Amino acid sequence: MSLDAFSVVVAFLALVEVALGVSLVAAATRSARAGSDESVAAANSRLALTAGTLLAVAVVSCPLLYLLLESWVPRWPGIMCVEGVRRIGTASAGASGWLPSLLATLDLTKPAVVLIAGAWLILRRADALHRRTATTVAVILGLVAMLDGAAQAAYVTIEKEAVPAVGGCCTILGPGETGSSATSFVATHARAWFPVGSIAMGAAALALRRLAGAGRSRTVLVALLATTALVAVPFGAAFLRDVAGPVALGLPLHRCAWCALAEAPETMAGTVLYGAAVLATAWASVARFASTGGDCTLESRLLAVASFGFLGTGAMSASYCWT
Amino acid sequence: MNRRAAATLLFVAGVAAAGAAPTIAHAIRGDRGDRCDLDGARIDLSARVRIADAISGSHEFCCVHCAERWMESSGRVPGEILVTDETSGNEVDARVAWFVWMRAPGESGIRAFADEQEARRHAAAFGSTVLTADERPFREKD
């Protein structure tokens, strides 16, 4: 294994994440068993410190992992972008064969850690009614963080220098392979539905923000919006790859999200905007669930962020469709 | 202006800026220069392939493989395919060019030659063969 500065930093952060995950599970267990109010308060403050640090580490490690993959592009002759690095290990025997699966795991666990950490931070502010839920969420956060850190550490440390890469264009598939982007439902409908869907979700978030009352119907509507936003994420990824990427790069046939992110900074801004909107919607749903006494301040603020993100992404994606 | 109006204005301006970002970024980036129309790679002039298409104009590719993939994906029958002669650097009509599958380090892929003798000499030097009949690229065009 040849180590570079990025590898060392990413591996270190992965180990920190595993340690924080273990610490969080232990602190949550102690908090659940605590008897007196004083010991609960002490356990909760330890939990808050650990979860806050974990959230910061998770947020920082996302762009660092991307930069690490990008820094590895020149290592293999013929590889053109991050997509090529992500394919390293495909159909390989031994430990290197796990590399693509580890990256696929990280694709899910990285945003999951941020999402769950945010949800826990909201729940911990709620009253004693939700204390048990908050403790359960803290344990889940710890476990997901351990998985994320372990997968990241394994990905960085597995020997990959000797693994041959399939060079050439990242969008070209090998003989006999079928392009899933052309056939899948998501890819087929992303162009038409993503801009409309984003604008509709933005409008819905704005409407919910203004909707009076704190009844059950509002809770259901906010949860429905959060579910829709999470389900729409693959459409967003397909839109970035199949529509925004080719337009931004000026390469009508070049359907690669990684090339778009690397060469067209506005696509990165759009991705961050959309990610923030999805997270804010999910957190608003948690805030709605945890709120008592009709206090909707946090939920309202999160819905405002969500509406801005969705409407901004909708406007951006509509612009790509018309360009 | 009160705080609420300022926030609304900022909100609308932000959404409008996001909508305008692709157009502005496209204008700032401008011309992409000599890059392959398929994969965006920098074009090595000694391996350039140019395809003249009556519908979408002229397209430039970094290699024979990319040009073939573009034809396959677009389903278009181009009016003219010009490959670059490895020896002179001049453009040659693909129908009369000689193609060699190069396996030299850093030079793998199909290379074109205007002259048959040059093609055979290169093929022999790199332990390869001159592509014939079905092996030839762009064969639908022949």
State how far residue B65 is from chain A, nearest Cα, in angstroms: 10
Q: Report CA-CA distances (Å) from B124 to A167, B57, B91, B117.
A: 25, 37, 23, 11
In Å, how far are A140, A213, A301, A308, B15 from A205, measured between CA atoms? 28, 15, 11, 9, 14
* Closest chain A residue to B107, measured at CA: A78
Give the gap in angstroms from C-alpha B66 to the nearest C-alpha of chain A: 8
Contacts of B111 (CB under 8 A, 6+ apart): B47, B86, B99, B100, B102, B122
Q: Which of A77, A273, A316 sits opposite B22 (nearest CB)?
A: A316
Residue B134: which of B124, B126, B123, B142 has the closest Cα?
B142
Residue A119 and residue A137 in contact, taking contact as beta carbons nearer than 8 Å: yes
Contact between chains at A316 and B21 (C-beta distance less than 8 A): yes
d(CA B61, CA B41): 9
Contact A254 B39 (CB under 8 A): yes
Question: Which of B3, B12, B15, B34 has the highest number of chain A CBs within 10 A, making it the mutation to test binding with A?
Answer: B15
| Residue B66: closest C-alpha in chain A | A169
What's the gap in Å between the CA of B93 and the closest CA on chain A?
A: 24
Q: CB distance A315–B26 less than 8 Å?
A: no
Pairs from A265-273 (Cβ < 8 Å, separation ≥ 24): A265/B25, A266/A316, A266/B21, A266/B22, A266/B24, A266/B25, A267/A240, A269/B18, A269/B21, A270/A240, A270/A244, A270/A312, A270/A313, A270/A316, A270/A317, A270/B18, A270/B21, A271/A236, A271/A240, A273/A309, A273/A312, A273/A313, A273/A316, A273/B18
Q: Is B102 helix (H, G, I), strand (E, B) or coil?
A: strand
**Nearest C-alpha neighbor of A113 from the set A86, A152, A87, A85:** A152
Q: What is the pLDDT of residue A35?
A: 65
Which of A251, A269, A323 comes nearest B38 by C-beta? A251
Contacts of A270 in chain B (CB under 8 A): 18, 21
Residue B85 carries which DSSP code? B
**Which residues in chain B have Cβ-Cβ distances shorter than 8 Å to A269?**
18, 21
For an interface test with A, give the residue of B11, B29, B39, B103 to mutate (most A CBs within 10 A): B39
What's the confidence (pLDDT) of residue A176?
39
Nearest-CA residue of chain B relative to A172? B69
3-state secondary structure of A252: coil
10-residue mean pLDDT profile of chain B (142 residues): values are 85 92 85 75 85 79 84 76 90 90 67 90 84 80 47
ipTM: 0.75
How confident is the model at residue A183, as a pLDDT?
46
B11/A253 Cβ within 8 A = no
User: What Rg do the C-alpha atoms of chain B give, in angstroms?
Assistant: 23
Residue A178 is classified by DSSP as -
Residue A48 has which token pair? 């808050």
Distance, in Å, from the CA atom of A141 to the CA atom of A143, rounded to the nearest integer, reads 5
CA distance B88 to chain A (A): 26
Low-confidence ranges of chain A (pLDDT < 70): 1-2, 35-37, 78, 127-129, 164-187, 212-214, 253, 292-295
A244, A251, A318 ranked by CB distance to B19: nearest: A318
Report how many Cβ contacts below 8 Å link chain A to chain B. Answer: 87
Mutant choice from B26, B31, B34, B107 vs A, greatest count of A C-beta within 10 A: B26
Chain B residues with CB under 8 Å of A259 CB are 40
Token couple for B94? 């693909």
SS3 content of chain A, % helix, strand, coil (to 5): 80, 0, 20
Query: What residues in chain A have their Cβ under 8 A from chain B's Cβ atoms?
Result: 77, 80, 168-172, 244, 247-254, 259, 263-266, 269-270, 273, 304, 308, 311-313, 315-316, 318-320, 323
β-bridge partners, B111: B100
Chain B residues touching chain A at CB-CB below 8 Å: 11, 14-26, 29, 32, 35-41, 65-66, 69-70, 73-74, 106
Tokens of A314: 């909708």
Rg (CA), chain A: 21
Structure tokens that stand for A146 in this block: 């351990």
CB A283 within 8 A of CB A118: yes
| Torsion angle in degrees (nearest 10) through CA of B120, B126, B132, B136 | -120
Write down the H helix ranges in A34-98: 37-71, 82-86
For A173, name the nearest residue in chain B, comparing CA atoms only.
Answer: B69
